[in-house]
A = this chain, B = another copy of it.
Amino acid sequence: MKLVRARATGTSDWTPRMAPVDLVPRFQAQGYGAAEVARRRLWVEHKTGVRLDHVGACSIPTEQMRGNVENPIGSVQMPLGIAGPLLIRGEHARGTFYVPLATTEGALVRSYERGMVTLTRAGGATTRIEVDENRVCPAFIFGSVADAARFVEEIDGHLPALCVAAESTTRHGRLLRIEPRQVGREVIVTFCYHTGDAQGMNMIVKATERACEWLVQRGLAPSYHIFSGFSSEKRASAALLGAGKGKTVIAGACLPAALTRACLHATPEALVRTWHRAAIGHFLAGAVGCNAQFANGLTALFIACGQDVANVVNAHAGITNFELTDEGDIYASVTLPSLTVATVGGGTALGTSRECLSLLGCAGSGNAPRFAEIAAATALAGEISMAAAIASGEFVAAHEQYGRNRPAD
């Protein structure tokens, strides 16, 4: 390989190095055996002079990591707390749950626990799933606006063939419909799938690629990019709010005034005022949606339960609402339009992930909707508790009490 020098201003002092770089050892078959993982860890220790005892204290059989990680050297650990009871009256989640939350943020578990207990005393959180589909949005590029427009007109007629092509690659994914959007001389086509109990992105990207190839082979489009950037997978966007992605889940509960005063130390009026105040701040910031801390609870739950944690970025895009009822109680709800969760595939079967999903009765096939409802109810618990901490002025004190031993503060 011949290499030209980087010549841009300011980079002239760089020395391109084509001498062999020191790659991480892969070993045979990519090196997932316990011995190879240990040797690789040793290689890293040697390279860096750092002992990796905790990393090595891994109880997941390393061969099971194949397909979940490359160049494995062990596992990381994060403290796991348990919060509950959380009574849910959903369609898929019904009953009382104790929710595993993996976090290092002091007070988080205690705060969610408070919200869960409050919901439970109020008779539980009601949950519903409105939409359940995941999406891939390839872009087809044409020579002109006219050609692109023609494609938009015609593509719906090819849906049956596209379904056949797409579904030939997967046992679980079903192509539900397609939505073309023309932008200049390109057409971004949203392929909407049901993905069963998997998060399903790999599955449906592969399926969509097959469908795209079918279109190109038939001469219906000259070329495509499999990712147009429109899908908002692992990114935050305003489009997620109205259009969703993954599961759109809603959780709500009516909290009697006496209960909010007793459990949350705040009146319904104060809670609504806190929401109102936050709404103004969110508008001023150009925030995606409006919520206090969806990210906190979802992240802790996702880490515990082997979800694709980067999906928290899209999953956190949602709307919390607090309203007074005519009776002077408060109706609190959360709407999460883009909850991408799974109970099969990804990291769901690994060691602690499977145990944590099992705690919720959510391990394996048929359980993703239940898990989604539990996630939404958990988010609702967090919103209630956080708003109460702000409304009552107890926020700092609570973090003092539960996060006190941290050296940085």
For this complex, 27 residue pairs linking A to B, each with C-beta atoms less than 8 Å apart, are A8-B143, A8-B254, A10-B147, A23-B85, A53-B59, A55-B356, A67-B406, A68-B106, A70-B402, A76-B78, A79-B350, A103-B309, A104-B353, A149-B250, A183-B335, A184-B323, A202-B403, A231-B281, A234-B293, A235-B295, A239-B286, A283-B289, A284-B319, A293-B310, A298-B310, A303-B303, A345-B409
Closest to A40 in B: B82
A197 to B407, alpha carbons, bound, how many Å?
Answer: 11
Residues 375-409 (chain A) with a chain B CB within 8 angstroms:
390, 393, 395-396, 399-400, 402-409
Q: Is the CB of B329 within 8 A of A52?
A: no
Q: Is the CB of A76 within 8 A of B80?
A: yes
Q: Is the CB of B321 within 8 A of A139?
A: no
A148 to B254, alpha carbons, bound, how many Å?
Answer: 14
A214 at the interface (CB under 8 A from B): no
Q: Chain B's nearest CB lies how many Å from the CB of A266?
A: 12
For A407, give its contact among B251, B254, B345 (CB under 8 Å).
Answer: B345
A306 at the interface (CB under 8 A from B): yes
Binary contact readout A128-167 vs B (1 if CB under 8 angstroms, 0 otherwise): 1010000001010111111111001000000000000000
A341 at the interface (CB under 8 A from B): no
For A323, give its contact among B23, B235, B276, B404 (CB under 8 Å).
Answer: B276
A352 to B54, alpha carbons, bound, how many Å?
Answer: 5
A177 at the interface (CB under 8 A from B): no
Residues of B within 8 A of A345 (CB): 406-409
Residues of B within 8 A of A326 (CB): 7-8
A17 at the interface (CB under 8 A from B): yes
Residues of B within 8 A of A35 (CB): none
Q: Given A67-B106, A287-B237, is A55 in contact with B76 using a C-beta cutoff of 8 Å?
A: no
Closest to A11 in B: B254
Residues of B within 8 A of A58 (CB): 77
Residues 315-350 (chain A) with a chain B CB within 8 angstroms:
316-317, 319, 321, 323, 325-327, 329, 331, 333-335, 342, 344-347, 349-350
Binary contact readout A248-266 vs B (1 if CB under 8 angstroms, 0 otherwise): 1011111111110010000
Residues of B within 8 A of A319 (CB): 183-184, 280, 283-284
Q: Is the CB of B144 within 8 A of A54?
A: no
Residues of B within 8 A of A77 (CB): 58-60, 75-77, 350-352
Residues of B within 8 A of A73 (CB): 80-82, 100
Residues of B within 8 A of A199 (CB): 408
A65 at the interface (CB under 8 A from B): yes
Number of interface residues of A (CB under 8 A): 220
Binary contact readout A192-230 vs B (1 if CB under 8 angstroms, 0 otherwise): 000011111011011001000000000000100111111
A288 to B279, alpha carbons, bound, how many Å?
Answer: 13
A282 at the interface (CB under 8 A from B): yes
Q: Is the CB of A2 within 8 A of B170?
A: no
Residues of B within 8 A of A350 (CB): 77-79, 104
A83 at the interface (CB under 8 A from B): yes
Residues of B within 8 A of A55 (CB): 80, 100, 352, 355-356
Q: Is the CB of B235 within 8 A of A238?
A: no
